[in-house]
Amino acid sequence: SAVISQKPSRDICQRGTSLTIQCQVDSQVTMMFWYRQQPGQSLTLIATANQGSEATYESGFVIDKFPISRPNLTFSTLTVSNMSPEDSSIYLCSVEIQHTDTQYFGPGTRLTVL
Partner 1 sequence: GENVEQHPSTLSVQEGDSAVIKCTYSDSASNYFPWYKQELGKRPQLIIDIRSNVGEKKDQRIAVTLNKTAKHFSLHITETQPEDSAVYFCAAFFTGTASKLTFGTGTRLQVML
d(CA 97, CA 84): 34
Q: Please, what is the minimum distance in Å from the beta carbon of residue 45 to partner 1?
A: 6
Exposure class string for 72-81: b at 16+ Cβ within 10 A, else e: ebbbbbbebb
Residue 108 in contact with partner 1, rule: CB under 8 A = yes
Among 7, 24, 81, 107, binds partner 1 (CB under 8 A): 107
Among 39, 42, 52, 114, binds partner 1 (CB under 8 A): 42
DSSP assignment, residue 33? E
The residues facing 64 across adjacent strands are: none
Site for partner 1 in 49-88 (CB under 8 A): 56, 58-59
- At 85 the three-state DSSP class reads helix
Instruction: Output 30 or 82, the one with its CB closest to partner 1.
Output: 30
Q: Please, what is the minimum distance in Å from the beta carbon of residue 83 to partner 1?
A: 22
Residue 27 in contact with partner 1, rule: CB under 8 A = no
d(CA 112, CA 6): 16
Taken in order 87, 16, 108, 27, the sign of the CA dihedral is positive
Q: Which residues bind partner 1 (CB under 8 A)?
A: 1, 33, 41-45, 48, 56, 58-59, 92, 101-108
